Chain A
């Protein structure tokens, strides 16, 4: 319980911090981005006052104290009002994001889970078969794939599997001739388009988990309780799972934040290479077009998503490790 409250407090604190950071970055940066944007708008013809106002709230008003601006900013956030996108004018930022978010949530969500499970399982297997050809192959392969730059793997996959072999489409999240809708053909097309990006993320992202798990597991397999389990005459499988992997997975969860950060960064690159209609590609375009309100909001969403994922990992840790639970017999 105490553990849960602590993690929850940390989540709320980091959420607040992410919001504040998002508020402060454009205001503290050199060169006054708000000014730049307004000038840019002016230079392009008649200025829409609504747009100027939106830019002001997100990036910094010409008038008003910082506190006043902060209040206004938070108020707007709480009302889901993130201003208007410059690139996709007159759509509000929120609308633009609402279209991109599901794509990334699904792509990144599934690949995170797959890489975690796959990496952890392979790492555990490699550790319990230490020194065999499987172990050597797995670790050396992982050594390579984990250090491949995401975007390069993506480019190579695109070239070979898309361009040369035509097995998969080369860009987009769905067939360009279709409209997004809930129909079987559309969903199939979306799945088909996401195979390649997902594959790239899985191939590049699994290695990190594998190494983490393998090292932890080797450590755990040297513990006295594992030796005792062997002495007990338990079957190999049971020792590897209930004693080895069950304990080794805990420190692996502690490293979750790190690995997730890598995946999130990687997925931005992958989405960009595949022109995948998710948050990463959107961010890329927003930066390219100096669409600061959109960029800020995307960053905020990515951060919030990451924070929540980390919170879930923490909770999972709490469930798996009895030592974080209080009470029991001795209390």
Chain B
């Protein structure tokens, strides 16, 4: 554990030393702070319909109001919670599935590997977003939880494949054989000797998965296949589009949640850029 922590700390230092990654960390960190402090930052309740409808941006309503008279700015702030929750949860689940399948497949090899790899390759070529749409069409309950599960079921293949090949390359290293000679158990070899050497790759998979999940969730919500009553950037766009916000001149209502999504995405992409450089020093500019 200490080694893992130590390597995390030193990787963080390296990350921080790259300006893009630093910017990404600041951006994502900013969103996390906003999500946590939402009740204090948001001027109104995001669901309160106490205001005039379709008001243009003003001092009282920085981004205007919705067709139901809700404050867009407050919704924007609360929406960060949904996106980050989905990103963290679905990203985490996807990474977990990818780790389990990738590591098992890479470590065991033989027929287990063949079967898991076939499964992975199949999951990789089946288009994820349409599958998400179909699945969510059948599931009677709609909500963030369902979306997280659907995203996890459809999103793990790429990570599993990448982790598997890393696993295969690491497990044939001499130090793994050497650990066997030290009398280490299989579990200890996997978790203590191999996994710490995969942290940057796992972090990268997590970031990629989280980004995919955030965009996927927003897409589903935007199409109205989520629960439109939940406050999220995706549903905001759904309602905005459905009430012809653009034509009504409520451009801020559409512009803001999309920009928030894009900025969160860019932040994550910047962090991943930094991770890439750590794990592959040749990329250093």
Q: Do chains A and B touch in the complex (CB under 8 A)?
A: yes
Binding site for B on A (CB under 8 A): 10, 13-14, 17-18, 21, 25-26, 29-31, 33, 130-131, 135, 143-144, 146-152, 155-156, 158-159, 163, 215, 218-219, 222, 257-258, 260-261, 264-266, 268-269, 272-273, 283-284, 287-288, 290, 292, 295-296, 298-299, 302-303, 306-307, 310
Task: List 22 A–B pairs whose Cβ atoms lie within 8 Å, in order of A's numbering.
Answer: A14-B125, A29-B135, A135-B285, A149-B215, A149-B218, A151-B222, A155-B237, A155-B246, A156-B258, A218-B283, A257-B124, A264-B127, A265-B127, A265-B128, A265-B216, A265-B219, A268-B130, A269-B223, A272-B223, A295-B137, A299-B130, A306-B125
Contact A218 B282 (CB under 8 A): yes
Task: Give the distance in Å from the alpha carbon of A301 to the alpha carbon of B266 in the complex.
Answer: 33
Nearest Cβ in chain B — how far from A239, in angstroms?
17
Task: Give the distance in Å from the alpha carbon of A112 to the alpha carbon of B257 in the complex.
Answer: 28
Within 8 A of A (CB), among B213-242: 215-216, 218-219, 222-225, 237, 241
Nearest Cβ in chain A — how far from B98, in angstroms?
13
Nearest Cβ in chain B — how far from A295, in angstroms?
6
Number of interface residues of B (CB under 8 A): 52
Contact A152 to B262, CB < 8 A, known contacts A17-B122, A265-B129, A303-B130: yes
Contact A296 B282 (CB under 8 A): no
Contact B131 A143 (CB under 8 A): no
Contact A261 B285 (CB under 8 A): no
Nearest Cβ in chain A — how far from B146, in angstroms?
11
Contact A258 B158 (CB under 8 A): yes
Contact A283 to B138, CB < 8 A, known contacts A151-B219, A159-B246: no
Q: Which residues of A contact B258 (CB under 8 A)?
A: 148-149, 152, 155-156
Q: Which residues of B contact A287 (CB under 8 A)?
A: 133-134, 137, 223, 225
Q: Is the interface of A mostly helix, strand, loop or mixed?
A: helix
Task: Give the distance in Å from the alpha carbon of A303 to the alpha carbon of B125 in the complex.
Answer: 8
Q: Which residue of B lies closest to A36 (CB)?
A: B140
Contact A14 to B128, CB < 8 A, known contacts A29-B139, A155-B237: no
Contact A144 to B266, CB < 8 A, known contacts A152-B258, A163-B247, A296-B134: yes
Contact A303 B268 (CB under 8 A): no
Contact B124 A222 (CB under 8 A): no
With beta carbons under 8 angstroms apart, the residue of A26, A131, A261 that contacts B129 is A261
Contact A33 B138 (CB under 8 A): yes
Q: Which residues of B contact A148 (CB under 8 A)?
A: 258, 261-262, 265
Q: Which residues of A contact B211 (CB under 8 A)?
A: 147
For B175-202 the 0/1 string (1 means CB < 8 A from A) is 0000000000000000000000000000
Q: Apart from A147-B215, A149-B265, A258-B124, what are 4 other A-B pairs with CB-CB below 8 Å?
A: A26-B138, A152-B259, A283-B130, A287-B223
Contact B130 A155 (CB under 8 A): no
Give the 6 A-B residue pairs with the shortest CB-CB distance, closest first: A265-B129, A147-B265, A152-B258, A29-B138, A264-B127, A287-B137
Task: Give the distance in Å from the alpha carbon of A218 to the alpha carbon of B219 in the complex.
Answer: 33
Q: Which residues of A contact B254 (CB under 8 A)?
A: 152, 155-156, 159
B16 touches A (CB below 8 Å): no
Nearest Cβ in chain A — how far from B282, in angstroms?
5
Task: Give the distance in Å from the alpha carbon of A310 to the alpha carbon of B124 in the complex.
Answer: 10
Q: Which residues of B contact A298 (CB under 8 A)?
A: 130
Q: Which residue of B lies closest to A288 (CB)?
A: B224
With beta carbons under 8 angstroms apart, the residue of A149, A222, A306 that contacts B127 is A306
Q: Which residues of B contact A30 (CB under 8 A)?
A: 138-140
